Structure 1
Amino acid sequence: MKSRTIRALQGAGAACAGLAALAACGPGGATTAGGRPTFEGRGPITYVAGKDASGSIQAVIDRWNKRHPKEKVTFVQLPTDPDAQREQMIQNAQTKSDAYTVLALDAVWTSEFAAHRWVDRLPEEQFPLRQMLKPIVETGKYRGGLYALPFSSDGGMLYYRTDLLKKAGIAEPPATWAEMKADCAKVKRLPEARGMSCYAGQFQKYEGLTVNFAEAVNSAGGVVTDAKGNPHVDTPQAKRGLDFLVNSFKDGTIPRDAVTYQEEDGRRDFQAGKLVFLRNWPYAYPLMAQKDDANKVAGHFRAAPLPGLNGPGASSLGGHNLALSASAENKATAIDFMKFLASQEIQRFTLSRAPGAPTYDALYKDPKLVKQYPYLPTLKQSILHAVPRPRVFRYGDVTAAIQQQAYAALTGSTSSAQALKDLQQTLRQQAAGE
């Protein structure tokens, strides 16, 4: 595919200034009288997403290509790191290149990409949105319009050692942070638990830290930003949430080296028998269920809702949605491919290859799937009660600020109170700059 030059679009681009103009102008090819894209053109397209470690996406694309030899899809795999994915997608959009067609956006990027008109508003009447879980559908919307089609979701869960809790006389997984710490104390008195740590999540300075910070704040009754994007982190509720993490590092509930953990670090330690509890995504369940000599938890763990301050906590809502690049060609093919990729047929298939969170309600109720993936009912509850990360125009700046201040508090270079005060000021300045 060729790349369009910026000069060819300078005339149209000069007419768009500021956020209000961005909402009304921008690239996107032919439009109807109402300004909606017509989605014309058929032929080859690209699908752009992070690295496909399971191979499931390429298998799906191969299935499409076999059925549509004149409208083949090329898979463009970006780095695993979400920040790097976002950066490359933005670079493509800013140069108005047609090299990227269908984008797998992190669910939290919708507002940013829609506000800039980097992606087209989609014809929502053409998609089975009513069959999907409502919180997932909402992640694809911006100012009343659908800009990203739900493809996969994600909800955090608490993995726990059933064998150790049972031996310690604990009948149910903890619903609160205090219960989790008390349960850990009982478990660690067992000879089998000698040297184990209590709990871990994702605390390295990357997007996972934003997720874990937001979950702590939400699970203590606070919010990071309100529905309008205004920050509310310098509050007693937010402080109680951050204090839970900070104090857990101080008292040993969370091991010190967890400040370097991403998802796989925690999964490996839990699987190796080093943790009683672990916050992670559903992808980890089948990996930890595989029986081998190095796996100490297969058959001895389950998943529960995340605990909170006074009761069950609130997960951050994860997942990826499908968006259509405004500067792409062959948009009719792209819309059909998006329908195919987000269909129940394909979600059922990918669930068997890369277990996660389906978008369709029916898949959580399917007896065969629930038997194969026992975590599905818990995962559905996690999603239904999940809270989106800040849905803001400049998400990249917001998450960077959160990571900086949360990491400073976790590592002891500043207090929780000062970190939240500084974060509130930074987020307020960013919101004013929009």
Structure 2
Amino acid sequence: MAASAALLAGTLAGCGTGSPEPAASGPAAGGPGEFTGRGPITLVTGKDTTGTVQGQLDRWNKEHPQEKVTLVELPESADQQRQQFIQNAQTKSDAYSVLNLDPIWVAEFAANQWIDELPAKKFPLDRMLPAVAKTGEYFGRQYAVPFNTNAGLLFYRKDLLDKAGVQPPRTWDEMKRACAEVRKLPEGKGVDCYAGQFDTYEGLTVNFSEAVASAGGTVVDAEGKATVDSEAARKGLEFLAGGFKDGTFSKESSTYKEEDGRRAFQAGTLLFHRQWPYQWVLANATDGSSKVAGKFGVAPLPGLTGTGKSSLGGYDLAISKFAKNKATALDFITYFSSEENARTNLEVTSNAPPYAALYDDPALRKQFPYLATLKESLSSAAPRPVVVRYGDATAAIQENAAAALDGDKSVDDALADMQRDLSAAIDKK
């Protein structure tokens, strides 16, 4: 997920340890290498919270009995996924074949020559949303292919907002006022206002980056310089830290990852939830697992003075430099990243597809009314800091943002320390 996450040197960056030394500052010489060898491979991905990936592999395996794909599931936490990917690469193990990477890791993995450059012409990248297709590039070369994409959305209890006579909020202040109106209702008793992903892991980097972008700022600018010593960054972090102080965010949500918040929303204890699109299908389940089926809507994230900006998430498929049977791996990525499979993923899991045409398909729009909102969010989504030493960068963000949210540092001190630590991560040789 982030994707989703997700969706971090032989140790976990999210716990404050550093990134490995990059093996190169750019791509290896030459173009895509030869992809030879056929036989069994592995698909390595974060925990499949949708329960649908194995079914897709079963279809491939039935048609390719001599080239079966085995699913290897890593932890739900994006940080822990990244740690295990890096450990496998550093030992040059062939246990991992196709890697389902958070797009923000592609630069780091390409720079360290842990993944192979791919033949870009083999994939229909021109049919994908341009910003999404570019997430697989490093120095203008294709190292990964989008499997799905992701943008944060505001899930809200439509039944309660309608009862209170208020519209979905466009700004943070409007959201707080909507919460106050809902809390006046008998039905609003025991319903918390808002939650995102606030535990100290990659989700906090995502939520902090969104808050800064939604206040008009950047975390790292186009020239690659840290830029959190700004008024916009202060406004963004004040929104997050202030939310815990004034009760807009529940205390429990300080430890929320995606699934924690999803369960709270489905239990009916959240009015607003910042979440990825996959929540749509699960929250609409009619098997008794969701108390809010048919009672919620989806809107763009709110911002300081208007509609906010999401971080760009999703998963990109890459081939491990150390894998065997790379011809099979390349063919499998072609199948797994196809528009047909993206459509199936959308229909079954409500995950965001990378292909532009699917957002305008009338049948899909009828089934998933939020697709227009999602397309709008994706069109303005901002990537997290594109830094080769991403482990150090995300650790700097997480640790200092968490200190502000917990009240251990003032907002100004947290941003000053973050600016210093981010600059060190970017400039480190």
Deviation at 1:357, TM superposition (A): 0.5
Closer/same/farther in 2, CA of residues 93 and 292 from structure 1, 3 Å limit: closer
Gaps of 5+ in 1: 1-16, 26-33
2:27/2:138 contact within 8 Å kept: no
Q: How many Å separate the matches in 1 of 2:268 and 2:277? A: 19
2:22/2:111 contact within 8 Å kept: no
Alignment counterpart, residue 410 of structure 1, candidates 397, 402, 405: 405
Deviation at 1:193, TM superposition (A): 1.0
Q: How many Å separate the matches in 2 of 1:161 and 1:66? A: 42
Q: How many Å separate the matches in 2 of 1:127 and 1:294? A: 38
2:393/2:426 contact within 8 Å kept: no
SS in 1 for 2:280: helix
1:48/1:78 contact within 8 Å kept: yes
Alignment counterpart, residue 189 of structure 1, candidates 184, 188, 192: 184
Closer/same/farther in 2, CA of residues 178 and 289 from structure 1, 3 Å limit: same
SS in 2 for 1:139: helix
Counterpart of 2:28 in structure 1: which amino acid? A
SS in 1 for 2:66: coil
- Equivalence for 1:13: none
- Equivalence for 2:54: 58
Query: What RMSD, in angstroms, separates the aligned Cα atoms of the two structures?
Result: 1.8
- Equivalence for 1:312: 307
1:170-192 CA-partner distances (Å, limit 9, x unpaired): 2x311111111112222211222
- Equivalence for 1:322: 317
- Equivalence for 1:239: 234
Pairs within 5 Å for 1:12-411? 20=24, 23-24=27-28, 34-170=30-166, 172-291=167-286, 295-411=290-406
Matched, 1:424 2:419: yes
Using the size of structure 1 for normalisation, the TM-score is: 0.90
SS in 2 for 1:24: coil
SS in 1 for 2:146: strand
2:26/2:139 contact within 8 Å kept: no
Using the size of structure 2 for normalisation, the TM-score is: 0.91
Q: How many Å separate the matches in 2 of 1:160 and 1:54? A: 21
Counterpart of 1:278 in structure 2: which amino acid? H
Deviation at 1:292, TM superposition (A): 5.4
1:343-394 CA-partner distances (Å, limit 9, x unpaired): 1121222223322111111211222222222222211111111111111111
Deviating beyond 6 angstroms after TM superposition, the runs of 4 or more aligned structure 1 residues are none
Deviation at 1:297, TM superposition (A): 1.9
Q: How many Å separate the matches in 1 of 2:333 and 2:291? A: 40
Q: Percent identity?
A: 56
1:196/1:276 contact within 8 Å kept: yes
SS in 2 for 1:152: strand
- Equivalence for 2:17: none
Count how many residue pairs are aligned between Structure 1 and Structure 2: 409
1:43-91 CA-partner distances (Å, limit 9, x unpaired): 2222111223433221111211221222222222222222222112112
Stretch moving more, 81-90 or 154-163? 81-90
Deviation at 1:98, TM superposition (A): 2.0
- Equivalence for 2:10: none
Stretch moving more, 291-300 or 43-52? 291-300
Q: How many Å separate the matches in 2 of 1:142 and 1:433? A: 19
Stretch moving more, 312-321 or 196-205? 196-205
Counterpart of 1:60 in structure 2: which amino acid? Q
1:219/1:307 contact within 8 Å kept: yes
Deviation at 1:18, TM superposition (A): 6.5
Counterpart of 1:378 in structure 2: which amino acid? T
1:65/1:73 contact within 8 Å kept: yes
1:22/1:117 contact within 8 Å kept: no
Q: How many Å separate the matches in 1 of 2:342 and 2:289? A: 31
SS in 1 for 2:27: helix
1:224/1:232 contact within 8 Å kept: yes
1:194-213 CA-partner distances (Å, limit 9, x unpaired): 23221111111111111111
Q: How many Å separate the matches in 2 of 1:54 and 1:20? A: 37
Q: How many Å separate the matches in 1 of 2:57 and 2:269? A: 39
Counterpart of 1:160 in structure 2: which amino acid? Y
Q: How many Å separate the matches in 2 of 1:301 and 1:331? A: 44
Counterpart of 1:102 in structure 2: which amino acid? V
SS in 1 for 2:93: coil
1:217/1:224 contact within 8 Å kept: yes
Deviation at 1:294, TM superposition (A): 6.5
Stretch moving more, 55-64 or 332-341? 55-64
Q: How many Å separate the matches in 1 of 2:97 and 2:360? A: 33
2:396/2:422 contact within 8 Å kept: yes
Q: How many Å separate the matches in 2 of 1:385 and 1:219? A: 10
SS in 2 for 1:150: strand
Counterpart of 2:27 in structure 1: which amino acid? A
Q: How many Å separate the matches in 2 of 1:261 and 1:291? A: 25
Deviation at 1:141, TM superposition (A): 0.9
- Equivalence for 2:7: none
Counterpart of 1:290 in structure 2: which amino acid? A
Stretch moving more, 390-399 or 71-80? 71-80
